[in-house]
Structure 1
């Protein structure tokens, strides 16, 4: 594939272009010109100002008796300041700039002998600086060149970036060095800031927006956490065998490693393995503060992200909607992957237009376009004017005992009876789904008949389970399955749905030390006979409260409602919608201390699903269907779902 360079041929006429644009901006005739609809690459990236400042956060996280300063590396066009013009800022605040890298190629910040930044990871500076934006890369406290300690989503993390937004708007102090130095003002910016980032970086954007800080105009959280409790636990069920203290140690600078043991201990003490909700989690819950958000929010998430699971974007999106926040969303079939690596051209163009609208005020129409882009099949996208679409209704379905092969049914009528299964921690959701049409001892499965028309689910689901355990502890899993053949992105592969190629395409301007050219990718696909498209987990001992789990009394029935991951999925005509209720989901939650057998009361069990068209759509899709189970496929190639999260929000 030949290298593709986007909008960079201006270089040969750069001097003429700058002169023309300068005249346009500075002459009286400009007042009568048509308003711009797109920023253009008229400024020199090679001659951009590269500088570093250390912003005073007002906190002393490492307890050394002086307030901590965070490092902010800046790349900005030189010409606007000479013209007396101020520019907006695109910011990525990250803990990964020196330990792990950013993007598909794990890029780090690099510096010259004088400590000036040479390479900024990703394409943001290469592409946007020539278009009249500044790019600021912030080292979270306790990482790279910043003071302080990492507190994993807490006050220190959020203040790391908020203090920089305050400085950009004249409300905080910054200096030319980490200690001492000369005070420096951000006189080159108008203070209008947009934050962007994937995983932990996007999480910081969520957290800063939840403070309501003035000057933050938009955020673009990609695969981001909205509540840190939900990163480590699912309603009391542990998702990992590590905690935030281990994560802090993973990204800390050498200096922080030596001085932040007390902070790591506080993280460990505040996040007990019991799964109980503590004040530490309250501090790191941004959803509760959605009413404070002033910024617009462009959410991006992979619907098969098993690292930062999709409950995060679902609950954040719903909370923002309740408070009338301007929103846009992209949902892909990938796992924990940046859109630059699965829809590159459309992503750069859309992000460009989004920042132009939100930070430069250009009326380019992006706010009047469909709210949602959803990847329905690999590289095949559909749009929705609103998300979830208008007409989506929470519809309650009920399981019922089956008449053939011991397999239950799923419909709108409540039924009696029970189903019994025994927790088998060696099996996972794909093992269960591979045997949906037969009764097996480790699950309870319930299926519709083959659908007579497509059925779309859009949003977050809940499954309420009433169960009696034979032991004092039990974990529950509920998953929704599309039973039928399809070709999907192979999200269970190590690359989570993409293949990295050797050819490169270029997105902006390059220097000797910072290339704008990145390896291309393509969809990595898998042929499957079923797709698990939504899932949720819980510890039955937390049935009464997240604040305190309790031992179960064997033989006593308990009722708990599991929050399932947000999604947008169409179960096509001829396929079957299925609900599975089981115990430990191997590699996705940790098992309980016992191995219970659970008896599920079907009259006390239900699934509340976000169906486009509501109950009438379900009735139409199931009317006229055969009630007998579909023949079991001769080959079941369901995608395995290994533990992809690696105990950290991966870069």
Structure 2
């Protein structure tokens, strides 16, 4: 059943703000005045200056374009550059591109074209090199991937060459474009938006990265520890339906560069956008689920911290989910105002007001003046013998025995000898964790190899989104609503999702992993000598979470978290020097006197498993 909302119905009032010679008041929003059914639909192949498939010809990427045919002036562009338009699909309904018998694009996945083209925008969907109809090979976040989109931005600004065909053809210019581009996308697509923004390319006015990677190292590795999957596998997945190209050499480069030892090397440095965040000129509207175990939340935290531009952030309780599927009305309204401001120049004030919007409970959102919270303080918490966690100095030692067969949920409910738990005790007031935490350990391994893992845990009952479920916190219904205009080949209507909730007795709010052999350098692991103490600091995932009054905040430290990372060659016993072990946690609130943590009552909990699919 379909219900049509006002957001998807064409208005009859003309938006005259950008028509020459017409007197008007300052506009507040673009209006849907153009006929979507009459829109120009075309493909331009843009030369990106690479030869990834080694055929001796510069690679051209396919940019599928839909734009209003009646526009009397140039229009700005909303771009989504993706490797998934033929292999895996986009959005909750896994939409693919489609074409007519002449190769003209018909289906543009997602609602961006249906909603924004009638409002005076062009939508450009780019096939990354080596995918769908583009030449070349995927290089998983490298120069070819980034240039697949950057060169299209250049073409839209008259600085690159486009053609009417994949090979041969005639030159095509973008005389219809203002040159103002906003990039948007979830997961891999949002990652490319980050990468393009990090080049500082002129004409890119804003990006909207949703659940996006900021450093590919941190997608496949964590402070020397490995998650067990590698970029060559992803490359082969997205290249699978692009026949006639030989990408074996490029895939071998990915395989060899992603070394099994977990070290940070040249391959990862070339795909680390955080190091170039200072180049970003575009504004940023960022969205991420704080329970995303696919693109883990360290990605948004480190990217956000490196940006020095106008920015806003949405943080949901979901996993790897687009805000269109958990807060649809508000998200479309925000996108509309955001693109109007940064691409059309509408003075609507969207850049003002609270910087962050955070989901505290399922479907319950609060605005926050800043992220991290304005009153957060990096607080050093120290584990004490007896299981307490507080700010006072500590002494003594504690040991655990690494068991790679166990994971984080067992550590919380029944750690045994595999992990160590330290707690603040019952809180008398709410305690907010807002930002990125780090753990420093001084550890003595009994063998020549060791892994480290740490968790921050909210001990207490709650109703949360079931982020470990199949929908990662949402349930998709059968009723649809519509966002823009439809044609026979491109439907603007999407199934409505609701919150999938679960009662739990604890919530893991942040986690991190490391290889102790990288204690001195992330770029080169060093042999460990059994019986020797090593000090190492590693980050935990970024978050914004309130541990409520009556709950406790716990720090759990163990070896191999089998839910996520690979174990060492020789798992053994690890002893911590508690005087030189601590966690730096960004807190708003008061940490009470340390006390042993409350026992769990054995109720339900959320099993957490690492995910290796990037969609």
Query: Same fold, TM exceeding 0.5?
Result: yes
Shift of 1:257: 7.1
Q: Which residue of structure 2 lines up, in the alignment, with residue 88 of structure 1?
A: 76
1:616-635 map, 5 Å: 617-619=589-591, 622=592, 627=595, 629-630=597-598, 632-635=599-602
Is contact 2:86–2:241 with CA below 8 Å preserved after alignment? no
Shift of 1:441: 0.7
Q: Which residue of structure 2 lines up, in the alignment, with residue 412 of structure 1?
A: 391
* 1:467 pairs with one of 431, 440, 443: 443
| SS, match of residue 275 in structure 2 | helix
Q: Which residue of structure 1 lines up, in the alignment, with residue 406 of structure 2?
A: 427
Q: Distance in 1 between matches of 2:119 and 2:21?
A: 23
1:591-602 map, 5 Å: 591-602=567-578
Matching of residue 36 in structure 1 with residue 8 in structure 2 = no
Q: Pick closer, same or farther for the CA change 1:255–1:345 going to 2, 3 Å.
A: closer
Shift of 1:8: 4.1
- Deviations along 1:16-59, whole A, 9 cap, x unmatched? x4xx546x7546451xx211010111111111110000001111
Q: Which residue of structure 2 lines up, in the alignment, with residue 354 of structure 1?
A: 338
Q: Which residue of structure 2 lines up, in the alignment, with residue 10 of structure 1?
A: 10
Q: Pick closer, same or farther for the CA change 1:189–1:27 going to 2, 3 Å.
A: closer
More displaced stretch, 423-432 vs 47-56: 423-432
Is contact 1:478–1:562 with CA below 8 Å preserved after alignment? no
Matching of residue 295 in structure 1 with residue 282 in structure 2 = yes
- Deviations along 1:441-485, whole A, 9 cap, x unmatched? 111110012001000011000010111111111111010000000
**Segments ≥4 residues shifted beyond 2 Å:** 4-11, 24-29, 253-258, 627-630, 632-636
Q: Distance in 1 between matches of 2:366 and 2:9?
A: 32
Is contact 1:143–1:256 with CA below 8 Å preserved after alignment? no
Q: Which residue of structure 2 lines up, in the alignment, with residue 252 of structure 1?
A: 239
* 2:423 pairs with one of 437, 440, 447: 447
Q: Distance in 1 between matches of 2:7 and 2:232?
A: 45
Q: Distance in 1 between matches of 2:355 and 2:489?
A: 38
Q: Distance in 2 between matches of 1:315 and 1:10?
A: 41
| RMSD between aligned residues | 1.5
1:234-273 map, 5 Å: 234-240=222-228, 242-255=229-242, 258-273=245-260
Q: Which residue of structure 2 lines up, in the alignment, with residue 127 of structure 1?
A: 115
Q: Distance in 2 between matches of 1:161 and 1:628?
A: 53
Q: Which residue of structure 2 lines up, in the alignment, with residue 304 of structure 1?
A: 291
When normalised by structure 2's length, the TM-score is 0.98
Shift of 1:360: 0.8
Q: Which residue of structure 1 lines up, in the alignment, with residue 459 of structure 2?
A: 483
Q: Pick closer, same or farther for the CA change 1:25–1:421 going to 2, 3 Å.
A: closer
Q: Compare the two structures and name the one with the higher helix fraction.
A: 1
Q: Which residue of structure 1 lines up, in the alignment, with residue 485 of structure 2?
A: 509
| SS, match of residue 351 in structure 2 | helix
Q: Pick closer, same or farther for the CA change 1:148–1:513 going to 2, 3 Å.
A: same
Q: Distance in 2 between matches of 1:119 and 1:532?
A: 40
Shift of 1:618: 2.1
Shift of 1:568: 0.1
Q: Distance in 1 between matches of 2:587 and 2:349?
A: 30
| SS, match of residue 334 in structure 1 | coil
Is contact 1:91–1:136 with CA below 8 Å preserved after alignment? yes
When normalised by structure 1's length, the TM-score is 0.92
Shift of 1:269: 1.0
Shift of 1:391: 2.0
* 1:164 pairs with one of 152, 166, 188: 152
Q: Which residue of structure 2 lines up, in the alignment, with residue 405 of structure 1?
A: none
Matching of residue 191 in structure 1 with residue 175 in structure 2 = no
| SS, match of residue 106 in structure 2 | strand
Is contact 2:362–2:465 with CA below 8 Å preserved after alignment? yes
Q: Distance in 1 between matches of 2:132 and 2:328?
A: 29
| SS, match of residue 177 in structure 1 | coil
Q: Distance in 1 between matches of 2:18 and 2:285?
A: 30
- Deviations along 1:205-224, whole A, 9 cap, x unmatched? 00000000000000000111
Structure 2 gap ranges (5+) = none
Alignment length (residue pairs): 615
Structure 1 gap ranges (5+) = 403-407
| SS, match of residue 167 in structure 1 | helix
